[in-house]
């Protein structure tokens, strides 16, 4: 069964987007069960996204590769302050979503599989040293509730603390000091 994954990155530089596009295209060509379906750059909001569709193993590997690249190429201290769009991490948010025409109430098995993918990606990123907060049905916390635990909403305020922060212990990765360069990633599943 195929699922979708949207990765949101806190930059809109042409160089960063080119690297993300090259990496996603290379991954797409390397496997038959993965497609890059959208690459978006919003210069005004200093935000980009990569959207992939694939089967479980290929999608997880591709999401991990794109996430790792985003973590390497984006330095939040080089991005605009205050942020033109809320953010709390270089890799700001990842959403795994079922691809189905079923009603939301009928998506439980597919959504559970997406939640497992989010959990696996969180573990991978955490082992790479990135603090990760999970959201979604399996975590029992909405995306909005998770964002409220971070500097997401404060990042757009003039005179606000420019460094990312988090008031909850990460589900994966190091606790304590949050890197001003990388911040915190939010990873989860949604219908």
* Catalytic sites, residue numbers: 85
| C-alpha–C-alpha distance, residues 64 and 36, integer Å | 14
Tokens standing for 139? Answer: 């975590």
Is the distance from CB of 45 to CB of 8 less than 8 angstroms? Answer: no
Q: What is the largest CA-CA distance in the chain?
A: 48
Is the distance from CB of 101 to CB of 21 less than 8 angstroms? Answer: no
Is the distance from CB of 3 to CB of 97 less than 8 angstroms? Answer: yes
Pairing label, strands 91-98, 47-55: unpaired
36 closest CA partner among 15, 50, 19, 17: 50
Q: 174 — phi, psi (to 5°)?
A: -70, 140
94 closest CA partner among 159, 160, 171, 154: 171
């Amino acid at each position: 069964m195929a699922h979708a994954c949207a990765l949101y990155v806190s930059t809109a530089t042409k160089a960063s987007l080119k690297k993300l596009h090259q990496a996603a295209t290379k991954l797409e060509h390397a496997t038959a069960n993965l497609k890059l379906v959208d690459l978006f750059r919003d210069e005004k909001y200093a935000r980009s996204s990569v959207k992939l569709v694939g089967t479980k193993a290929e999608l997880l590997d591709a999401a991990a590769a794109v996430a790792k690249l985003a973590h390497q190429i984006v330095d939040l201290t080089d991005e605009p302050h205050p942020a033109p769009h809320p953010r709390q991490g270089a890799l700001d948010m990842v959403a795994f979503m079922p691809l189905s025409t079923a009603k939301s109430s009928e998506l439980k098995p597919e959504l559970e599989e997406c939640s497992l993918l989010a959990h696996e990606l969180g573990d991978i990123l955490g082992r790479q040293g990135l603090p990760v907060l999970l959201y979604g049905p399996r975590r029992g916390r909405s995306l909005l509730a998770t964002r409220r635990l971070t500097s997401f909403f404060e990042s757009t305020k003039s005179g606000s603390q420019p460094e990312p922060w988090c008031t909850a212990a990460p589900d994966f990765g190091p606790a304590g000091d949050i890197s001003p360069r990388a911040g915190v990633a939010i990873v989860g599943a949604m219908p």
